Structure 1
Amino acid sequence: MNIVWRFILNILAFMMVAGDIPFDKIDKSVKIHKYSLYRVHKWKENNFQNAPSELSTRIDRMRGFPDIGYAIHITVGTPGQQFNALVDTGSSNFAIAASPNAGVPSYYHSRRSSTFQNRSQQVTVQYGKGTWTGDLMSDIVHLDVGFNRAIRQDFSGTPTKTFFDQLVDKTGIANIFSLTLYGPVLSKGLSWTSKDSNYGGEMTFGGIDRTLFLGHVYYTPVIKKWYYEVKLLNISVDGKPITMCCHGYEKYVTFVDSGTTEIVVPPAVFRTIVHSLQKFIQAPKLFWEGREVICPAGLGIAWSSLPIIEFTLPLAGVDGVLAYESSRFNLAISPQQYIRLSETVRNLGFPCYTFSISPSSNDAPVIILGDALMEGYTVVFDRINNQVGFAVSRFAAKNLTVSPGINRLERVKNGSLNIQNISSSSEDSVAIVSVVLASISLFMTCISIGVMTCIYFNHHRNKSSNDYPYRQVSSPHHPPAYSNAEEQYGSRDNSLADNGPTESD
C-alpha cells in the first residue's frame, strides 16, 4: 500500500468564521473579478505537501513523476505565510502542514503569527485508506479575490455562518460556483498552447460565465450533500457498455472530485477498459498501472483512432429546464483526457503521456470523476438546487484533436422517442466573481466543516428504472460527441468572447 501525504485545503472550509467580513470594500459594479493563480505540481505518490516552488522536469525514482493539480495562492497568519491551496471538491477540511518533513518544502509556523489561537483540541480524519491527525487552531486566512480580504478561520464550539453563506447574504451573489480546468495540451509544433504556462483555468463564484463553454449545461442531482456525490449509471468504451454484476454501479459511491487527478473506477471496469485500449495502443504494463510514461516519436498518437469513453449520469435538467423522468446523458471524454500529456517529462524533445484511469481498491468501493474528466468541461456546482452541471469547455473543444462531448438520452416507449425542447436560458443576472486558476491541485466541498488543522506528520492519507431502451437524441443543439471541435461547433468559434481562451492564450 502506498502511503500518500497530501496537503489538503478546502476553500469552502475558509467559510466558518467569527465576526464580519469587510464586504463593504467590494465594488459591486464590477461583475467579474479575476485573480491570477500559480501552476505548481504535486507528486503522484508522495504528495502531501505544498507544491514545489520550482518545476522539475525529471522523474524521481522514489516518488514517481510530478503530477498536475489546481490551486490558488493564499496567506495564513500575521504576518502572512504563503501557501498553495489545493482546491478539492472531495474534501471537507482545511488542513495545513505545521512541522518539517522531507516531502514538504514549507510549512506553517504558528509561533510566528500574532493572530494564531490554539483551540487545544485534536482532530483525526479517517479515509478509505489511511488517516491524518492534527491540532485544531484558528488564524487569519487571506484570499485576494476582490470580495475577500482577511478573514479569521475561527473554530469555537459555537456554530457560525460559513464564509460562502455570508458572501451570499451580504453581496447577493447566487449560491453557486463553477470550475473550468485547463489541462496541459499541445498546439501545432509541439509547443504549449498558453503563453503563460502557469495559467490553468478559472473558478467562478455567484453564477455561470458562458464565455467558458459551448452549448448547454446538463445537470445531474447531488444525492448526498456531504460531498458532491452523484449517481453513475454506466460506463462505455467505444459505444459498448461495461456491465457489472451484483447491483452494478449502484453499490459504488461516485464523487466529482477536483482533488483527484485521475478517473478512478472499479477494478473489474478498469481491467475491461485496459483490455479494450490495448487493441489500439501498445504500451508496457507499467504504463497502464500509472507508473510509467510513454513518449511516442514521429507523428505521435493517432488520437482519432482511439475509442471514446462515456460516463452515463441521470439528467435532472438542461439550463434550468427540467428533464423527463429517467432521462440520462453521457459525458463522452476525449482520448486526450484519459491518455494525458505530461507537462514535466519529455524524451528527446518528444512529449510523453500518462494513463489517467486507475482502479479503486477492493476495500474502498468508490468511483471518482477527477481532473482528467473535469478538464473537458465547465463543471457547475449548484448548491441552490443540489445538482452538478457539465458543459463542454471551449478550451478543450478548441485545443483537443478529439473534442469531449455530451450526448442526451431519452426513454423510448413503444417505438416512440420522447424529445424535450430545450432553450438556453439567459445568463444569471447576479454578480459573478471569477477566479483565474493555475494548474495545480485544489479542492472544494459541498458542506464546509470549519476545521483548520495543523498536521505534524505522524499521520497519513490516501485519497485517493430501465424498462425501456434509450436512444441518443441528435440535433443541432445536441451534436454527437465524437467530432472534431471545428466540425461539431462550426461557426460558434467566431463568437468567442475577447476573454475566452484561444490557441494563443
Structure 2
Amino acid sequence: MTITFNVVLIIFQILLVLRYGEGYNLFGEAGQAYSIEIYIGRPIQKLNVIVDTGSTTLAIASYPRREHDKYFETNNSTTFEDSGMQIQAKYSQGNWVGRLVSDVVEIPSLSLPQVRANMAIITKSYKFFVNGSGWQGLLGLAYLPVGAWGDHVIVESWMDSLDARLQRPTSFELNLCGPQSVTNVTHYGNLRVLDIYSEIVSDIIFRTPILHKRWYEVGVLSIRVLTNKTEELIVNKNITTDAQNFEVDMCRKLNHQKSIVDSGTTNIRLPDALFRQVVDQLKKVVQVANTQYPSNIILDNFWDHAEAACWPEPQQWSLPWLAIDLLSAESDYQYYTLEIPPQNYMRVASAHNSSGESGTVSEFCYKLGLEAGGQETVLGYTAMEGFELLFNRSAGWIGFKTSDCGPKTRITGPYNVTHSITSSCQLITPKTDMAISIKAAQWALCVISIVAATVLIYLLAPCIKMLLVKPLPRSTQISMSQTALVDQDIT
C-alpha cells in the first residue's frame, strides 16, 4: 500500500515538473508583463510578445529602438503582405501608430497550426516600449471591439484567425506563477489554447461571467483587507443571509467605468477614492499589528506607489491578505471570493544577492502592487498570480481555480445574497459593442438622410411649384403675411 502511494506521488511530481518546470512558455522581468516567443514570416523571425488580455491586436515593432534593437524586418519575409492602411492604438500607458499587414504566425510552444493573421507593424510609438524590455510587441487576446483602429479598417485578431483556421471556437488558459524564489525577480507562467469541445476541464467550479465582450469585463463587487480570517468568515456568513451587509456603494464605484481582467497590466488598479481607502486600511493594520516590519520602516511614499522599499535581506511578509469578491456565473444572487496573500501585492522590484562579494551589499526592493486608476478597476497580473484562469471566449465566462505554482492563494464561497447583484451594483448598464455601434450609426445616418431630404424638399417646394404651375394674375387682395407685405413694398 505504501509502495503504491509513493509510486503515485512520484508520478504526480514528475507530471508537475513536466507541466510547470520545463513546460513554462511565459517569462517576464520585474514590473513587466508575461511574454511568449512567436515565429513570424518565412523564413521565421523569432520575437517575444506580451500576452495581453487587455487588448486585441497582434502588434510588432518594425524599427530599431533605444530600448531594444530587435524588431520584425518586413523586407526579409517572403510571406509578408502590406495593406498600406494606417492604424493606431492607445493604451493606459503609451500609444503607437503603424500599418495593417498580414503574415504567417506560429507560436512554437503551443500545439497549434500556423495561421496567416492580421497584425500591426509599429512604425512610431510613445511610452509604449519599456526601457530594457525583452519584448518587441504584444499579442492581444481580447475581443474585436478593443482592437487597433483606422479609417474604414477592422483589424482581425490572432485568436479570430485561429478560430477560422480550426473552424471552431477556442479558449485559452493562463497560469501565472510569479517568481520561483524570493531572490529572483524573473516570473514564469504558462499559456495554453484549448479546444472548447474536448479540453475544458470540469474542475473549474468558480466562474464569473464576462459582462461585455470587449475587454474581459467582469463584476468586481468589493476589494477588502482581511484583517482576521475568523472575523472575515463570520462577516461572510452574515452576508449570505443579509443582503444589506453587501457594500453596494463600493461595488458601484468599482464598476462605474469598467472592471477588467488584464494580464498586460502589472498592478491591481482601483478608482482613486477606493485605492486610498484600501491603502489606508493596510497602513492601519500594519501599525496596529506591530509586526516585525514596523510601519515607520515602510514610508508613506511606498504606500502612495511613489518609491520602492528596500532591505538587505528578502522579506517574508506577515501582512494582511486581500479579498476580491466576484460575481458568480452560476447565479445573479451569488458571488465568491479570491483571497491573495501579501506576496502578491508586495511585488519584488529588484533583487541583488551579492553576499560574499567584497565591498558590496545585498538589496531586495519591493513595490506596492496597488495603484490609483481614475475611475476604472483593473485586475492586473498581481491579482492573477497563484490562480489558473480559463477564458471561455465563446461561452462568455472566466473560470478560476488555485494553481499548483506561485503564491498560495485561496478561493472561498460561493456566498448567497437576497437581491440581484447585477441590479444593485448596476452591472447591467447597456454598453454597445462594435457591431451594435455600427448598426446604430447606420440607422442614425439613414434617419439624418431622411430628415435632410424632407427639409430640402420642403425648402425647394415653392421653386418647383413656380416652374410647374402657370402664374396667375396678381390679386388686389392685401396679404397679412410679412412676406407679402415686403413683396408689395418692393413693387
Aligned to 2:194: 205
Separation (CA, whole Å) in 2 of partners of 1:106 and 1:338: 32
Structure 2: distance between partners of 1:378 and 1:246: 24
Q: Specify the alignment match of 2:34 in structure 1.
A: 70
Read off the aligned partner of 2:310 and give its amino acid letter: C
Instruction: Check if 1:338 corresponds to 2:351.
Output: no
CA–CA separation in structure 2 for the residues paired with 1:267 and 1:143: 39
CA contact 1:218–1:390 (8 Å) conserved in 2? yes
Which letter does structure 1 place at the counterpart of 2:64?
Answer: P
Cα distance, 1:289 vs structure 2: 3.6
Aligned equivalent of 1:375, options 364, 382, 385: 385
Give 1:151's match in structure 2, choosing from 115, 118, 121: 115
Q: Is there any run of 5+ residues in structure 1 with no aligned partner, and where?
A: 1-31, 42-65, 318-322, 414-445, 448-505
Residue of structure 1 equivalent to 2:171: 176
Higher helix share: 2
2:58 & 2:342 partners in 1: Cα distance?
Answer: 34
Cα offset for 1:74?
1.0
Trace 1:207-246 onto structure 2 (pairs within 5 A). Answer: 216-238=204-226, 239=232, 244=249
> How far does residue 224 in structure 1 lie from its aligned partner after superposition?
0.7
1:410 deviates by 1.3
Q: Distance in 1 between matches of 2:98 and 2:45?
A: 19
Instruction: Say whether 1:94 aligns with 2:58.
Output: yes
Query: CA shift at 1:299, angstroms?
Result: 7.9
Aligned residue number for residue 287 of structure 1: 302
Letter in 2 for 1:294: A
1:312-391 to structure 2, matched below 5 A, reads 312-317=325-330, 323=331, 325-342=332-349, 344-345=351-352, 348-349=361-362, 351-361=364-374, 365-391=375-401
Q: Secondary structure at the match of 2:280?
A: helix
**What does residue 393 of structure 1 align with?**
403
Matched letter for residue 366 of structure 1: E
Q: 1:108 corresponds to which residue? A: 72
Q: Which has the higher contact order (CA 8 A, sep 6+)?
A: 1
Q: Distance in 2 between the 1:351 and 1:217 partners?
A: 38
Q: Distance in 2 between matches of 1:159 and 1:308?
A: 40
Displacement of 1:406: 3.0
Aligned to 1:23: none
Contact persistence 1:331–1:407 (CA under 8 A): no
Asked if the contact 1:179–1:204 (Cα under 8 Å) also holds between the matched residues in 2, the reply is no
Paired with 1:299 and 1:102, the residues of 2 have a C-alpha distance of: 32
- Structure 1 residue 148, shift from structure 2 partner: 2.9
Q: 1:229-249: CA deviations, max 9, x gaps?
A: 112222222259877479433
8 Å contact 1:346–1:352 — kept in the other structure? no
Q: Once the two structures are aligned, what percentage of the paired residues are identical?
A: 26
For the 8 Å contact 2:86–2:100, the answer to whether it is kept is yes
Distance 2:91 2:32 in 1: 22
In the TM superposition, what is the alpha-carbon distance from 1:175 to its structure 2 partner? 2.9
Q: What is the Cα deviation at residue 104 of structure 1?
A: 2.7
Aligned mates of 1:157, 1:67 — CA distance in 2: 32
User: Matched residue of 1:39: which SS?
Assistant: strand
Residue 39 of structure 1 corresponds to 27
Take 2:93 and 2:264, find their aligned partners in 1: how far apart are those partners?
Answer: 16
User: What CA distance in whole angstroms lies between the structure 1 residues aligned with 2:40 and 2:114?
Assistant: 9
SS in 1 for 2:178: coil
What are the Cα deviations for residues 314-372 of structure 1, in whole angstroms up to 9, with x where unaligned?
A: 1113xxxxx4x3111111211111112345455833533221111113xxx32111100
Tell me the distance in 2 between the aligned counterparts of 1:297 and 1:278: 22
Given the superposition, is the C-alpha separation of residues 346 and 35 from structure 1 closer, same or farther in structure 2, using an over 3 Å criterion?
Answer: closer
Relative to structure 1, the CA distance from residue 130 to residue 184 in structure 2 (aligned partners, 3 Å threshold; closer, same or farther) is closer
**CA offset digits 1:90-149 (Å, max 9, x no partner):** 111111111222123311211222222210100022445654211111222222245434
Classify 1:210/1:291 alpha carbon distance in 2 versus 1 (closer, same or farther; 3 Å): farther
What RMSD in Å do the two structures reach over aligned CA positions? Answer: 3.6
What is the aligned counterpart of 1:255 among 260, 270, 273?
260
In the alignment, does 2:311 pair up with 1:296? yes
1:273 maps onto 2:266 in alignment: no
In structure 2, C-alpha distance between the alignment counterparts of 1:159 and 1:181, rounded to whole Å? 26
Q: Give the conservation status (yes or no) of the 8 Å contact 2:267–2:381.
A: yes
Q: Tell me what 1:164 maps to.
A: 162
CA 1:226–1:296 in 2, change beyond 3 Å: closer, same or farther? same
What displacement does 1:163 show?
2.9
- TM-score, normalised via structure 1 length: 0.58
Letter in 2 for 1:140: V
Partner-residue secondary structure (3-state), 2:344: helix
CA contact (8 A) 1:184 1:343 kept: no
- The match for 2:411 is 405
Contact 1:242 1:269 in 2 (8 A): no
Answer whether contact 2:222 2:325 (CA < 8 A) is retained.
yes
Length-normalised TM-score, structure 2:
0.59
Residues 246 and 338 (structure 1), Cα distance of their counterparts in 2 relative to 1, 3 Å cut: closer
In structure 2, the partner of 1:499 is: none
Taking structure 1 as reference, are residues 328 and 295 closer, same or farther at Cα in structure 2, changes over 3 Å only? same
SS, match of residue 101 in structure 1 = coil
SS for the counterpart of 2:311 is coil
* Distance in 2 of aligned mates of 1:181 and 1:340: 14
Structure-2 change in CA distance of 1:84 and 1:246 (3 Å): closer
Greater Cα shift, 144-153 or 257-266: 144-153
Task: Give me the whole-angstrom Cα distance separating, in 2, the residues matched to 1:93 and 1:295.
Answer: 37
Q: Which runs of 5+ in 2 are unaligned?
A: 1-18, 120-152, 227-231, 236-245, 287-293, 355-360, 420-432, 435-491
Structure 1 distance, partners of 2:79, 2:111, is 22
- Per the alignment, do residues 243 and 395 of structure 1 end up closer, same or farther by CA in structure 2, a change over 3 Å counting? same
| Alpha-carbon distance in structure 1 between the residues aligned to 2:250 and 2:208 | 24
Deviations 1:400-429 (A, max 9, x none): 4xx43333211269xxxxxxxxxxxxxxxx
Q: Does the CA-based 8 Å contact 1:221-1:230 persist in structure 2?
A: yes
Whole-Å Cα distance in 1 between the matches of residues 260 and 373 of structure 2? 13
1:167/1:344 Cα in 2 relative to 1: closer, same or farther (>3 Å)?
A: farther
